[in-house]
Amino acid sequence: MRRFALVSILVFLFMFPSSASADIAPPAQPPGSNPQPGSESTQVRMLAETVLIDVQPTAPAKSLGQAHVTASFTMHNQGDSPETMAVRFPVSASDGYFSYPTTKDLQVKVDNKTVPTRDIQGEDPYHSSTPVPWAEFDVSFPPGQDVQIQVAYTLEASGEYPFVWFKYILSTGAGWKDTIGSVDLIVRLPYPASDQNFLYDPGSSYSSTTPGGVISGNDIRWHYDDLEPTTDNNFEVFLVMPSAWKTVLTERANVAQNPNDGEAWGRLGKIYKEVSFSSRGKGFRLGSMDPGGQDLYQLAGQAYEKAVSLKPSDPLWHAGFADLLSYHAYFQHMEGANTTAEALQALGEIRLALQLAPNDPKVQEIAAQMASEFPDGMVANGSSFDFPWLTSTPLPPTLVVEALITTETPLPALTSTPNPTAVPPAPTSESHGESKPTLPFCGGALLLPLGALILLQRRMFTIRKTRF
């Protein structure tokens, strides 16, 4: 029953889109006569539109992120008679969570002059049965002339740490005459865009970014000609949360200025690890078409390796490194990869952490999780742990994991740190994260359907934000 309930929840969540912005639209038709592509009643055509989604570097408290949106439209009356109409713009839509967030700070200009808007109710662009607010404003379209319309507002991001997405609805522009002549969509980041902070992997379950984006400096650009928009053309971009990427940039600068600071290297490894996780149930960003996710995993491993080499007696960085390696090895194993080297390296790192701080709660937490992930390789013995895989020769036949490491940026080998002669006191630094639910192998054999289901549950409801 619990498995069925979780599947039902996930299906419900992904059935409904999040908050979005949208094209202007002509007035609503009478009930039962909804405009469809090819049956427009107006002679006004949308010749061109340019939409700039300017992602802001900071956001208010409790906000996942914000963007300033400027949508500019060139309209042209192709008929012989002038048309005056109340043009509509949706300012709200269902977010799929029984809420209808509204765009903020709406401003409309017609031919560079600010015009007043009226609040009305209209259909939900996402086809919810509940009417939603629209803004309405009057525009005159002389025959044979261009009219410029600009709509600007603030758009809230949707998502879950460390990823967010922004949406823009194109389908509401279908009621204008003929096709949209040209469409330019620009997402502008407050830092250089890259495949590390801009997520696109059509083979994954976590990135639903609209295909076709081209990175240029801080911008990601999409272009279309003669578009007859449907709901299939509605736009979405999936990004690393700006605040998280700002932390990446800060920690990169810290290690560049202080290359011998092990704590700085550990923090860098931690934030790399956070932004290489997926919040939509995939485990890690390691799809074949997500090279940025693969790079982030390699960078996380290299940063942790540097941290433990500079601070060999710090148990939490050893534990954090073990957490990265074991989590990746476990989930890549679920997808059929052979990750033996990573599993062994992870066990070595957690064994060092336990030797350094056997009673530290966070070290114990990671150790217990790893013992559930690799029950034949790491066995709880009261409050301590045994490591059969680190002493077995040859390796047990039930171990079917091997490192998935690219040849271009190989992950450093396990640091061989001598066992300390005296165990230092347990560290006092506090954690602000949640523990991971257990995902046991059963006698070394993985139950794939249940494992995949628990994987989804784990990523949907766990946010990992610890020191390590």
In a domain, 467, yes or no: no
* Alpha helices (runs of H) in 139-288, residue ranges in sequence order: 242-257, 262-275
Residue 48, both tokens: 């061109």
Is residue 428 located within the same domain as residue 303? yes
Looking at beta carbons, which pairs linking 272-276 to residues 24 or more positions away fall under 8 Å? Answer: 272/248, 272/296, 272/297, 272/299, 272/300, 272/303, 273/300, 273/304, 273/320, 273/323, 273/324, 274/161, 274/162, 274/244, 274/464, 274/465, 275/162, 275/196, 275/197, 275/240, 275/244, 275/245, 275/248, 276/300
Domains contained in the chain, number? 2
> Considering the domain boundaries, does residue 12 fall inside one?
no
Residue 294 lies in a domain: yes
Q: What pLDDT score does 433 carry?
A: 33
For residues 332 and 404, state if they share a domain.
yes
User: 379 pairs with which residues across the strands?
Assistant: 386
Residues 339 and 413 reside in one and the same domain: yes
Q: Please indicate, yes or no, whether residues 248 and 236 belong to a single structural domain of this protein.
A: no
Helices (H), strands (E): how many in the chain? 9, 18
Residues 236, 251: one domain? no
Pairwise CA distance, residues 92 & 102, whole Å: 4
Single out the residue in 208, 240, 272 at which a domain terminates. Answer: 240
**Full DSSP string of 173-203:** GGGSSS-EEEEEEEEE-SS---TTTEE--TT
The count of C-alpha atoms lying within 13 angstroms of the C-alpha of 89, restricted to the half-sphere facing its C-beta, is 30
Q: Same domain, yes or no, for 210 and 277?
A: no
Does residue 180 lie within any of the structural domains?
Answer: yes
The residue from 178, 213, 240 where one domain ends is 240
Task: Profile the chain (468 residues) by mean pLDDT over runs of 10 residues.
Answer: 28 38 66 40 93 95 92 94 90 70 88 94 76 88 96 89 89 90 97 93 70 96 95 90 96 98 97 79 63 91 97 97 91 82 95 96 94 92 91 49 32 36 32 32 30 33 42
Please indicate, yes or no, whether residues 66 and 172 belong to a single structural domain of this protein: yes
pLDDT at res. 255: 98
What is the reported pLDDT for 96?
64
Residues 231 and 254 in one domain: no
Query: Does any domain span residue 390?
Result: yes
Domain span at residue 287 reads: 244-461
- Considering the domain architecture, whether residues 67 and 192 belong to the same structural domain is answered as yes
Q: Does 1 reside within a domain?
A: no
Sheet holding 83-90, edge to edge: 83-90, 132-141, 118-122
Q: Please check whether residue 124 lies inside any domain of the structure.
A: yes
Yes or no: say if 460 and 448 are a contact pair by the CB < 8 Å rule: no
Angle, CA 282 vertex, CA 322 and CA 297 arms, to 5°? 40
CATH number at residue 261: 1.25.40
Residue 36 within a domain: no
354 and 443 fall within a common domain: yes
The answer to whether residues 168 and 276 belong to one domain is no
Residue finishing a domain among 193, 224, 240: 240
Q: What is the CATH number of the domain that holds 228?
A: 2.60.40.3680
Quote the pLDDT of residue 130: 78
State whether 181 and 291 are in the same domain: no
Look up residue 172 and give its DSSP letter.
G
